[in-house]
Amino acid sequence: MIEYPRIAIIGGTGLPTLTAMQVYDSEWPSTPYGEPNAPLQHTRVGGEMLTFFARHGEGGAFAPHLVNYRANISVLKQAGIEQVIAVNVVGGITEQMQAGAICIPDQLIDYTFGRADTFFDGSNNKPIKYVDFAEPFNAGIRQQILMAAETLALPVVDGGVYGCTQGPRLETVAEINRMERDGCDIVGMTAMPEAVLAMELGLEYASINLVVNRASGRSDKPLSLSDIRVLQAQAMPKVEKLLRQTVQNLVALRDSESS
């Protein structure tokens, strides 16, 4: 019998695949919410089994507001996944969120609109569910990410408020100023509704955010896509190392708890 992973990594635009990923099985199931944007790729990385999922599709074709978050999260649940580490690239708003910083957010504010953001809206004979979303990121996984960073001597920012905008356009300076007044540290386009849908299905979910640019109005230099690509190429290997160490920690913890 093939054994399937219980940990999934959702990679964003900056991480469309994992380096040296050995896929031993791949599936693309359909769901009551339509097609997921990518196949589930069950892989072994550094001895650990995990499932990799490309949020925006294999070629990155789906814009943040068009991603089928419900189908994506529901196929992870159907496949038996219990823990999810999401990777998102973000813009840095506050001073410590300079390009290249890695943030492990602990809070978020949702500025998106019109996205299908619940499994439980009262339709399909399912009751409405008022999920407790006070702590959107799972504390246990966050702790394992932070411990993995310490093991690797990799500097990360412990905590931060992720402001999720609709995209795909970037923000105006006034919007970023408002977000900073609201308490946001970083800005991205994909944490919502992904995080709440994971919570609704009982998946433990946390994320690793790589700051790839200063947000609008926070830099003297105009935004440059080539600068972002260079930074991603330099910094994503560190994020991948952090992912591998975190997965190792999570597996070791699970094994110790079940023995």
Which residues in this chain contact ligand HPA in the complex, by CB under 6 A? 89-91, 165, 170-171, 187-189, 212-213, 215
Nearer to ligand HPA, 70 or 218 (CB): 218
Which residue's CB comes closest to ligand HPA?
Answer: 91
Q: Which is nearer to ligand HPA, 15 or 89 (CB)?
A: 89
Nearer to ligand HPA, 49 or 217 (CB): 217
- Cβ of residue 196: shortest distance to ligand HPA, in angstroms? 18
Pairing of strands 40-45, 48-54: antiparallel
The least CB distance from residue 80 to ligand HPA, in Å, is: 31
User: Within 13 A of 168's CA, how many CA atoms are on the CB side?
Assistant: 9
Output 14 or 36, the one with its CB closest to ligand HPA: 14
- Residue 232 Cα distances to 146, 226, 257, angstroms: 21, 10, 36
CB 28 within 8 A of CB 44: no
Min separation Cβ 187 and ligand HPA, Å = 4
- Angstrom distance (rounded) from CA 177 to CA 258: 48
Q: Smaller CB distance to ligand HPA: residue 206 or 215?
A: 215
Contact 21, 43 (CB under 8 A): yes
d(CA 100, CA 139): 24
Nearer to ligand HPA, 43 or 209 (CB): 209
Name the token pair of 195: 């995080």
Residue 87 CB, nearest approach to ligand HPA (Å):
12
CA distance 240 to 238: 5
**Max Cα separation, the chain?**
57
Smallest separation (angstroms) from ligand HPA to the CB of 23: 27
**Nearest-approach distance from CB 56 to ligand HPA, in angstroms:** 12
